[in-house]
Amino acid sequence: MKNNPVAAIRSHPWPSSPLLELPGGDLRNYGGGKVLSAQQFVLIVGLSPQHFIAVEKAPGIGAVQPVLEQAVGFLWGRGAWIQRVKLRCPMAWFTEATGEFLWKRCFVFFTRALLAIDPTNSRPLPPNVWPVEPVCVLADAGRLHWLKVRQILEGIEASDPDLLMNLGASLATVARRWEYSLARAILLSQRMGEWDSSDMSSVAECDHLLYQLMAKYETEYEFLPLTIARLL
């Protein structure tokens, strides 16, 4: 992942031209920068003017990697947040028999992959084992994650609200996983006498951000009773 906190993207960086010429080669441009490809593989997906997904390694035949890195460097220089993913996505997955590339389906595929990332970065642990980490650290990480998700969804909503219709299930699945993880961390912290005021403040900020996010983009989502109790 790359994050440039200094610069700020002033506008959507990609022109509407279907072919973007870079020193290392050309990129095909779909949806005004929503999907960028080369050698019949998807390389970059623009979730919003500030958030992009880029594959870690350019597939295909020929010198595709320089084109990918030049595009990533261009975005990085304009202040973009870039998530590198280990995906190899042929355009054929989203191409009809007529030859039409369904870039919106491709866009949803990549966005769902990003939304499925576990914000806790946790691994399954036995019930009597827990990570040695203050709850405020976990809650702050969750707050930053959900803030990023909100920015991405707001960017998608501003450009094409219809695309949001296909993302709710992914968002709800990760939100539920997060709720369980945070509830377990709080319970263990309280049981071990490690719960303090800084934890309470961080958890409250994260809870309210997640509530606002789900209330706007996944209105039928039902929070866990423990989360509701904290919100009240």
Residue 117 phi/psi, 5-degree rounding, is -65, 130
For residue 98, give Cα distances in angstroms to 19, 66, 102, 104. Answer: 21, 31, 11, 16
Contact 23, 67 (CB under 8 A): no
Render each residue's pLDDT in the chain as its tens digit; 232 residues: 444 433 444 445 566 778 887 787 788 889 888 899 888 889 999 888 788 889 888 776 566 778 888 888 888 887 888 888 888 888 899 999 898 999 888 988 888 888 877 776 655 666 666 566 788 888 998 999 999 888 888 888 887 788 777 776 778 888 998 999 888 888 888 887 777 777 888 999 999 999 999 999 888 899 999 999 999 8
Question: What confidence score (pLDDT) does residue 128 get?
Answer: 64
Its pTM stands at 0.75
What is the Rg, in whole angstroms, of the alpha carbon atoms belonging to the chain? 20
Residue 89 phi/psi, 5-degree rounding, is -120, 100
Strand-strand pairing, 51-55 and 41-46: antiparallel
Question: What confidence score (pLDDT) does residue 125 get?
Answer: 60
Instruction: Please work out, in degrees rounded to the nearest 5, the angle formed at the alpha carbon of residue 91 by the alpha carbons of 70 and 168.
Output: 95
- In whole angstroms, what is the distance from residue 60 CA to residue 43 CA? 10
- In whole angstroms, what is the distance from residue 107 CA to residue 128 CA? 41
- In whole angstroms, what is the distance from residue 137 CA to residue 141 CA? 6
Question: What confidence score (pLDDT) does residue 50 get?
Answer: 81
Question: What confidence score (pLDDT) does residue 153 get?
Answer: 87
Question: What confidence score (pLDDT) does residue 224 get?
Answer: 93
Burial class (CB in 10 A: 0-12, 13-18, 19+), 71: buried
SS3 43: strand
Q: Which two tokens stand for residue 204?
A: 């409250």
- In whole angstroms, what is the distance from residue 105 CA to residue 224 CA? 32
